[in-house]
Each structure stands twice: as structure tokens, then as C-alpha cells.
Structure 1
Amino acid sequence: MMGDIGEKGTCTTCAYSEDFSNYWTASMYFKHANGSYKRVPQYPNAQLGYQGQNAENIKGGMTIYYTQKDFWDNGVEKITGFKPGFRMTVGNPGITKIDGPRAQPGLRYTCLETILTRGSETADFPSKPCPAGIMAIHHFPACWDGVNVDSPDHQSHMYETGLGGFREAGPCPASHPVRVPQVAYETMWNTTVFKDMWPKDGSQPFVWSFEGNGYGTHADYLFGWKGDSLQRAMDDGCMFHGCGSPGVQGVLKTHTVDSMNACGVPDTVVEDIGDEGWLDHLPGSHPM
């Protein structure tokens, strides 16, 4: 048991200073025709300017959503915040085709024509170079069994009724009757630096860090909001910056971009992960 991450955390890269949750997805790599790999860099969500500053001042490219009904309305249903120690995963690295038994409608990609493109989602990596990069999307289930904060596979205590996108999930079944926030990740990958290296045979050159294809995408969530802060937001019914931002009184506390950017975890493993040069194998794996 990890315990209460919200009480253990000492800093956060999230805009809301009471959110110490852990959010994870695999890294994306470009596989060159010669067999070498390079890590695809991330960039921040251009739609989320913060504190009057341009989005590029924010490090990282993952945006986290907690929606109650959909992207436009909170609805009236009671939404129960997660409990200390809660965790879940979505997706499965073993999935190799779209009709796999654990394939889910909330795992998608958007080929970005511009940095503001939304919609036109695909189940696998885009099949052609994208002018502004690729957005990877992970929607988590929103139905909880109301008892277990985790399960052996990190998924059985949750039930998926999502329809894909930011649409309202379907009713929760009796086995998982508690509606929790609909958590979603958007990660922006700057694939534009590889546009002139696309394989001449038209094959798809991107892989995840576990050597998996697009269908195997997956994400982890470990709840870590401090105290009752997430529940306060769910009960308040606020949306986006209305929940709190510099100069706007809200139910949640915020902090500065400099404070967000200063938060980090020291490297504990000395390994080239392909940020600078090219690798002959993916990090953690053996050379081919």
C-alpha cells in the first residue's frame, strides 16, 4: 500500500497546488529505418495558457482532466472523489489489434494539423506525418465498486461505461455503482522533427517505450489530492480556471508557473534515454 500520497508529497508540477497525484504514460520513440531510436519530445497544451503567461512557459506536455458529466456541463449527478491509496490503470501493453479483449474506446490519437486541432481521433498511431505532432489520449473508467482502492490487475475495481471522447459515460452497473470523476490525459508529442525521416515504404515508424504499437497504449493513475480538495471541487461544480487561478477566487489553491517548473524528481538511474543522440535499442531493453 502506497499510503496517502497527498500527505507524502512535497511539491507538484500541477497548476493546482493541492494535487500531488501521480500521472504516467509510456514514452514515445521514433524508430528509424536503420533500426535506431530517438525519444519524441513533448510540448505543453497550447489551449491552456496559465497565469497570463504563454503555455510554452510550462514544462511538460500532459494535461489532466477531471470531468463530472462531459466537457461542457457538470450535470447534477453526485460525483465521489477518490480515496487515499486509490490507483487504477487503463489500457494493456499486450493488445496488438483493435478488437483485442481489453481494447477501450477512450484510448485514441489525434493527428495535429495545428497545435489547436481537436477531434478526428484514431485507434492507432497516425499513418502519415502530422504537421503539428501527435496527441495521445487516455480516458479512464468512471464507475467504482465503492470498496476497493485497488485490485490485483489495477482495473477490476473499476468498470468502463465510457463512450470515448469527453462524452458523458453511461450509467454505472450494480457491481460498480459509485460514479467518480472521469479522468483523462492528453499528451502532446512533437513528432515534427521526424517528418523528413518517414519510411519510404509508408510503414508507421512510432513505437512506445515497451516496443509496443499504438493499440498497446496504457496509463497509470495514483490519487494524491491533499485532504478533501478534490471532493470540494466535485461538490462545487466549478469548471476549468473557475475552480481557481491567480486573480480568480476558487475552491482550489494554485501556485506559480515557476513553482510548478521547480518541482522534479532526481534521476536515480544513469541511462541514455535518447533525448540527445540516437540509441541502438530502447532504454531498459537489450540491443537487437
Structure 2
Amino acid sequence: MKFSALSALTLAGSAEAALRFGCATLSIQRLDPLVQPGAIPSSHLHQIVGGNAFNATMTGDIGNQANCTTCTFSEDFSNYWTAVMYFRAPNGTYKRVPIMQNTALPNGINGGMTIYYTQQDFNSNGNQKITAFKPGFRMTVGSPSTSSLAAAEGHVGLRFVCLDTKGTRFPELPEFPSRPCKGGIMTVHHFPSCWDGVHLDSPDHQSHMYNTQGEAFSPAGPCPASHPVRMPQVAYETLWDTTIFADLWPADGSNPFVLSYNDAHGYGTHADYVFGWKGDALQRAMDSSCMFQGCENGKPLLSQSVTEMNKCAVESTVHEDIDGWVSELPGQAMPMV
């Protein structure tokens, strides 16, 4: 897909908005409309949040197809998803690890991923022009085929954090923590923010974007000539409640967690994004000077209650046990070692 209106994308005008908001669980099922469109089921299980237009074959303007969203901003019908984490017991059975809300989010969210659209870093909103994504835009970050620590270290912004509390943010690790984590495990997915200005997608779902950011929420460098358009820095924080398995940690101290595509190291952690903001809502936000909760309640974005967020859901088209103890991961055989 291509977008031809490159003119005006890099025109002057400061953008200062930084969004941080929660999204309740929309669905947990084996669908992947980007990498495996039309496949029912896809190869591995995903944790999905956002608008209820999510399905196996998503095309077109998602913002005009959904009628509810699990996210704080009621104009955001985008979809955000990542691989599910499992606990592997000493007897070889598996149990899905639930997600939990961040302390920065209001109480009561069903699960809850934290989504960011920033333009500079975690603490400030910067002063450069940010161009919102266009209808039909999509991208991925990371790859489940990543199979070495060296390769994982090279995927800047894809990290794990061993939580002492929900407020812990460092150190960031390129693989699963090697010890029990008092407050759970957080996965962090930072997407690139430089766009080529033409393609809404690419065959690998990544080449139309370029990353100039270092670790964590550090300021990104200038966009290259090949990808000149600065877009919002999208990031996900997913907090996994591994504490419920604390008493079952293997006696030999080995890591008992595995991602749903058979990754026992975490090297291949990855995430997917489909843009679905209604009309010019995201651009209005990027052109404003609000930050975080200050962007809610019509200033400039419409927001909704936790009750409304939790109401939105999609029915599963893949019927399999995702809540009980299972003998193998859904769609998988033995874990990658």
C-alpha cells in the first residue's frame, strides 16, 4: 500500500503531545491479520487490545469499521498485540500468564497493556513536527525467528524488565530474567518512528519504517533521507503477573517462562500494530501540547471510563483451551532451546 501525499508531511509547526494510556484485553486467540492474514488459527497465541474490528483479514480504514475500543481514548480503534507468555511447570505442562495493569493506569482495567505515542522521550514532549499515521497503516517490530542473544541485543527497544514493583523500569534485558521477579515481568516493545512517506505497509511489515532511537524512551535521532517523515514513537508495556507461579519455580533455577511461539529465551519477542484512530484525532493530539492524562476528557481527545473499556470485546473464532493447564502450547510442539 502506498500514500502519495508526501508534501506537507514535514512542514514546520511544533508538535508536543505525548500519550500514555491503558487498553483492556480485547481478545486472546490465535489470529494474526498482518503476518498470517486469513489464517484461522494462526501459528501462535496473541494478547490483543484495541478496537473490535480485529479479525483474521483486516483491511482498509479500521477507524471506520470498529464501534468500540478497549482503550482509554474512545477515538482510538487501533489494534495492538503481542505474543502471550506461558509458565512451563516441572512436569512439562503449561499455563498462560495473565497480564496486569500498570500503576500509571486507573484501577479496574481487565488486564491492561500500556500504550505510548511519544515524540521525544519518556519525560518531555519535544518541539518537532509529528505526522500521524494514515488509514491503512500497519507495522511490526521484532521477529519470532530471532534465535540468538547477539541478535536479540541488536533489536534495540525490545526488552524485558524484572519487576520489583510495577514502577521498576531498569535494567532492560534482551532475554528473560534469570531469577524470580518479585513484581512480575514486563515486556517492552518500541516501534520505529521514521516513515518513508509512501508505503502504508511493506512485505516484511518493517521496511517502510526506520528506527533512530536508542534504548528505552531516549530521544530518537534525526530521520534519514530514505525515511524522512517523523511519526509518533509507539511503544507497548505489558506486565505479566508471573508472581502467581513463584512457588513453582524450578529447583535448578532455570527460567520457567516461554513465549507462545516456543521461545524459552525471549529472543524473538515481537509486536504488531494496525492504525485505527478515528478521523484526525491522532493528528490533533500530536499538534497539541498535552501530556498523558492531560490529553483526556476532550483536551483534545475524547476518553471513556474503565467500565466502557472493559465492555468491548470480540468473540474468539479459534476455540481452544487458553486458560487451563495444557500439555503443549497452542499450535506448537516442544519449546525452542
TM range (shorter): over 0.9
Return the alpha-carbon distance in structure 2 between the equivalents of residues 237 and 178 of structure 1. 20
Q: Return the offset for 1:61.
A: 2.5
User: 1:156 — aligned with what?
Assistant: 207
Measured against aligned partners, the alpha-carbon deviations of 1:214-237 in whole angstroms (never above 9, x if no partner) come to 111000000000000000000012
Structure 1, unaligned runs of 5 or more: 50-54
Q: Return the offset for 1:134.
A: 0.5
Q: Which consecutive aligned stretches of 4+ in structure 1 deviate over 6 angstroms post-superposition?
A: none
With the length of structure 1 as denominator, give the TM-score of the two structures: 0.93
User: 1:137 — aligned with what?
Assistant: 188
Q: Return the offset for 1:121.
A: 1.2
Are 2:281 and 1:193 aligned? no
Asked whether the equivalents of residues 159 and 189 of structure 2 are also in contact (C-alpha less than 8 Å), the reply is yes
Asked whether the equivalents of residues 92 and 102 of structure 1 are also in contact (C-alpha less than 8 Å), the reply is no
Structure 2, unaligned runs of 5 or more: 1-57
User: 2:275 — aligned with what?
Assistant: 223
Letter paired with 2:330: P
Return the alpha-carbon distance in structure 2 between the equivalents of residues 102 and 79 of structure 1. 28
Return the alpha-carbon distance in structure 2 between the equivalents of residues 229 and 102 of structure 1. 35
The within-5 A match list for 1:228-247 is 228-245=280-297
User: 1:27 — aligned with what?
Assistant: 84
Q: Return the offset for 1:286.
A: 4.9
Asked whether the equivalents of residues 87 and 257 of structure 2 are also in contact (C-alpha less than 8 Å), the reply is yes
Q: Return the offset for 1:103.
A: 3.5
Q: Return the offset for 1:78.
A: 0.4
Return the alpha-carbon distance in structure 2 between the equivalents of residues 214 and 61 of structure 1. 21
Q: Which moved more, 1:31-40 or 1:226-235?
A: 31-40
User: 1:4 — aligned with what?
Assistant: 61
User: 2:332 — aligned with what?
Assistant: 285
User: 2:301 — aligned with what?
Assistant: 252
Asked whether the equivalents of residues 144 and 158 of structure 1 are also in contact (C-alpha less than 8 Å), the reply is yes
Question: Could you say what secondary structure the match of 1:100 adopts?
Answer: helix
Q: Return the offset for 1:265.
A: 0.4
Measured against aligned partners, the alpha-carbon deviations of 1:13-48 in whole angstroms (never above 9, x if no partner) come to 000000000000000001112211110011111222
Measured against aligned partners, the alpha-carbon deviations of 1:196-251 in whole angstroms (never above 9, x if no partner) come to 21112221111100011311100000000000000000001211011113xxx501
Asked whether the equivalents of residues 141 and 183 of structure 1 are also in contact (C-alpha less than 8 Å), the reply is yes
User: 1:40 — aligned with what?
Assistant: 97
Q: Return the offset for 1:151.
A: 0.1
User: 2:47 — aligned with what?
Assistant: none
Question: Could you say what secondary structure the match of 2:221 adopts?
Answer: coil
Asked whether the equivalents of residues 213 and 220 of structure 2 are also in contact (C-alpha less than 8 Å), the reply is yes
Q: Which moved more, 1:102-111 or 1:230-239?
A: 102-111
Return the alpha-carbon distance in structure 1 between the equivalents of residues 207 and 334 of structure 2. 36
With the length of structure 2 as denominator, give the TM-score of the two structures: 0.79
User: 2:177 — aligned with what?
Assistant: 126
Return the alpha-carbon distance in structure 2 between the equivalents of residues 14 and 93 of structure 1. 26
Q: Return the offset for 1:93.
A: 0.6
Alpha-carbon RMSD across the aligned residues, in angstroms, is 1.5
Asked whether the equivalents of residues 114 and 238 of structure 2 are also in contact (C-alpha less than 8 Å), the reply is yes
Q: Return the offset for 1:287.
A: 7.8
Q: Equivalent pairs: percent with the same residue? A: 62
Are 2:311 and 1:262 aligned? yes
The within-5 A match list for 1:59-208 is 59-100=110-151, 103-208=154-259
Return the alpha-carbon distance in structure 2 between the equivalents of residues 101 and 144 of structure 1. 23
Return the alpha-carbon distance in structure 2 between the equivalents of residues 188 and 214 of structure 1. 15
Asked whether the equivalents of residues 113 and 131 of structure 1 are also in contact (C-alpha less than 8 Å), the reply is yes
Asked whether the equivalents of residues 193 and 210 of structure 2 are also in contact (C-alpha less than 8 Å), the reply is yes
